Amino acid sequence: MYHLLHFIFRKYALDIMIYNYLWINRFKPDNIDIKLEQFLKQFYLKHQVPKITFKKTSRNNYEYGTQKIVIKLEGEAIRVRYSGGYLLIDKFIELNAILEENKKKGQKMNNNVKANNKKKQKNKY
C-alpha cells in the first residue's frame, strides 16, 4: 500500500516535495537529488554547521541560502561549481554555511529595524 501511495504522490503531486534538507519544486527527483539528500543526512549528523536548505530551481541548478549554485555528480562525489572550478560539497558547506546563516540573521535584523522605524513614524503623527 505504501509503495502505491508513494507512486501516486510522485506522479500527481509533484508541485512541492519537501525532504529534510532538500526542497524540490515541480521537478522529479533525479540521481543528484537522491545522493544530495543522503549526503546531507549524514553530514549534518557529523558536523555542527547551520542547516541551510538546498532548493532546486532547474536541472543541476540549486539555491543554497542566497547563492545560486550548480551541482554535478562525478562517480560517487557530489561537486559544486565554485570560483571557476568544482569543489566537494562538504567543503562548500563548511565554507558557506556560517556566511549564509549570518546573511539570514542580518535580514531578520534589518526587517526588525524597518518595522520599528515604521512604528516610530506612526507614533509621531
Q: Where are the domains of the chain?
A: 2-124
Query: At which residue does the C-alpha cell 525532504 appear?
Result: 19
In the CATH hierarchy, which fold is given to the domain comprising 2-124? Metal Transport, Frataxin; Chain A (3.30.920)
Q: Over range 85-102, report the average pLDDT.
A: 91
- pTM (2 d.p.): 0.65
| Neighbour-count burial of 89, counting CB atoms closer than 10 A to its CB (0-12 exposed, 13-18 middle, 19+ buried) | buried
DSSP H or E segment with residue 78: strand 77-82
State the Cα angle at 54 between 89 and 14, rounded to 5°.
130
pLDDT, tens digit (0-9, with 9 covering 90-100), for 40-85: 888 988 988 888 888 888 888 999 988 999 999 999 899 999 888 9
